[in-house]
Structure 1
């Protein structure tokens, strides 16, 4: 017969191990408030930039696109997301980069849901946009 204290200790250790194992997985699935994410895309010819979004703790966003830069706001509830762009700074850029920025802003404005798996954040709307957390 196993003493009652040993059984309770074993159950407590099992619950603790389950909680510790589930903790980091849950954190990896939360919206990346307070992080910078970069679009999972190749660089455009003649450019060193890849669009990035710096997301504040309250959903405020600083955008650096292929050419343009500006601010916006994410509102998140569960897996539902809304992006509202703010004023964008127009910089002297070739027409292809300006068009790519406009297309990306339109796609961000159409985003309806999001999902995170580790360092990959997927925003889904009229287009699927994949971003990677900048972890370095």
Structure 2
């Protein structure tokens, strides 16, 4: 839990920020619902299909007591999961083990009134093209 708090604290100091080089995070000026709609629209705007929306914040809030915690990690947090057939094929033809990175995700989270949009970072090489796509989608959502 202390590692999570440290990562969350690190996220608060730069925009975009790199949370221990695991994620790129941007602040969103607006509500959580507006940010979620903007991300959904930006993904669809790229011609991509959202496979699943993980309501991670809801799950964490619902199960906190069950795992012995009274810490409310997020007010809300959703992760939009999707894939690009073209780009996925390209990166997996370069290295079959890039399958480990699919599907791709963009998260929207709210903590203490701060709305964040971000995505995990990917290794150097072919996966940087995926990271560039994720950043393009997030930039479109931020407009």
Larger Rg: 1
Question: Looking at both structures, which has the greater relative contact order when contacts are Cα pairs under 8 Å and sequence separation is at least 6?
Answer: 2
Please report the TM-score for the alignment, with normalisation by the length of structure 2: 0.28
Relative to the length of structure 1, the TM-score reads 0.29
